[in-house]
Chains A and B, each alone.
Chain A
């Protein structure tokens, strides 16, 4: 039977009513946005105070927050702190937390929590230990306010609290922060923009985070680790993919949205893919270092260590990694990284110029007797493997006898802790790679420590002048004075050869074209990233 005009009107009205009625329901059932990411490393631990591992640091930035943070100029800005004051004598810091901060379990963030967190952090982090050694006391003023009272005017309090890289002073509830610093916390409870779904964690395979609906971001735009941390996706799935080819193919195929590092030899797989963007987001990058052991002959002789500087060439290392892609690396002799406020070329003459003849002359002058140099060489990490091969070859050409001891990283990490002579399992040198934020100044850069076997990092340089300069750096807040001291630190570090810098490099990050808001930063921050 044909529809009458009245029936048509009724039908149209019914359809409209249904649409209006369904509308809100459809909005409520809108699909959650899921960002699938592949970051560097595999998350095996979840406590960023217990370990300094960079992968754990990256995880921790998702779920924890910090009192202060560094912006893109590496200036310290308040983060969880609303306002702060420093006394005239520079010894007392009064910090007041922002309103509305909550832990993921719903309880409010209090001053007591922050004090406990700082105490725990201060037991594990190098800069934190220096701060605690100078600390007089913590004082709680009220629920949101506390004081840090120092014994002396130490200019690094705020830089320590705003430290961007391991070990970052992340804040935790007091009940968790009271965990012994050498035991892991049992629950990943923070106050950050995302929450970890521990029930969906498959160690070594997948980690899941969901948006923290209670997070109160700052109003400023995001800038490095500082500013507003707005979670723009509902869920993040961090997939572990040990094979880099698989990871790049997965990005090309749209099976993941973000890949933190696209290896230089695989960029061709996605360079012409219209759905993939490639960008250098970590502008500071990393540096390769060769670390000699000052305890074991012949490297207890400064001339032999200086011959080491002359034997090695940064371009060799960088070309082994990047081939003809020179845009991803730079030759840089600065111990505090190039492109930073403490960059200088002071003392870099031997570091930037390979000279086998001069190296051999120094070896002869020092009386090098052909003792085999035990070089620890990790072959299970691709970059380490390359560095070891390049280094061994160059040292041999310079006249060193090299015992290239290949093994996995776990063996290297174990053996480099040995202070024993070579005959009892000691070593002469190894390669390492540190990220920019960990090397920015004399306070955070452990590779310029002259603290001897008691306090220095592996290699154990022992130099009173270096320690005097580092202490002087920490006791002044004058920028010009700090720069002058940093220059002196570099000169001294290169003179006694605490380590040899072997080039600075950056790598590409890849993400799908429907992803936006990726921040330029030395750490892969997941806030501000949206997915259409």
Chain B
């Protein structure tokens, strides 16, 4: 167990690599109840969210979710979030564990009008069932028609007899579901899922595998790969920045629109270590003799059998194929910019 965002979290159950491979090839079950849930309700909720998020909330129909961020006026994320539209005027914003209090205060300071902001984090446990066999495992435990539930869609239903929001979302690069249930139902749902998934090869998976899975899929970790000093465009998240007129103005729009149109001075790139060594978070990065920055995420990639990572490079020297060095405990190890995502699931 390790402390993470104020929670005690299991790093691994049966072994990180076994769990990672189970999610890629069969299925894995994660307890991600540490994630926070903020609710916005009221006729002004949509307009408020348009002002404080980067993506176009107006495109969501009830039952649809969207990856987004809460930018500051400099276009840098206070957090990255998923916005769930539960009804015309009711939204759930899922935020990172370590940022719950900060996000709540940030949103409150933006003066929500015509809506109520509530921290519902204590009302939800969150289980993530991920992997190519996730639908097969969940099918027998829910009345929700999973075959018609598209990517980033959700339904309010039940799982194993307990009320649940069943969302087709995740942080692994695989098909799968995130299940919001009441905290006192979490253990029963967890147990029922593991039982139902036994023959399919479902295993419990920990924080360690979650991190390697998300990195292979080039999903970013807030606080490592982006923070309040990196703009969304620099982080490669221009695709969640909407400059649509219908969305209107929002925090950081001017900076982000300019960078979307003309490019940002630096860019988060994916790299592969071509020498011998594992690049890890915080290791120094240099281009020639010039110190450039640090590895933001780095690991051995269990499915790919390669040592991969992410780091910021000057935009003019960030093309695929660019060679640079990562300093591994005092030793310079060659690395090369590669296309991302490192891993893309077969469809």
Q: Do A and B come from one complex?
A: no
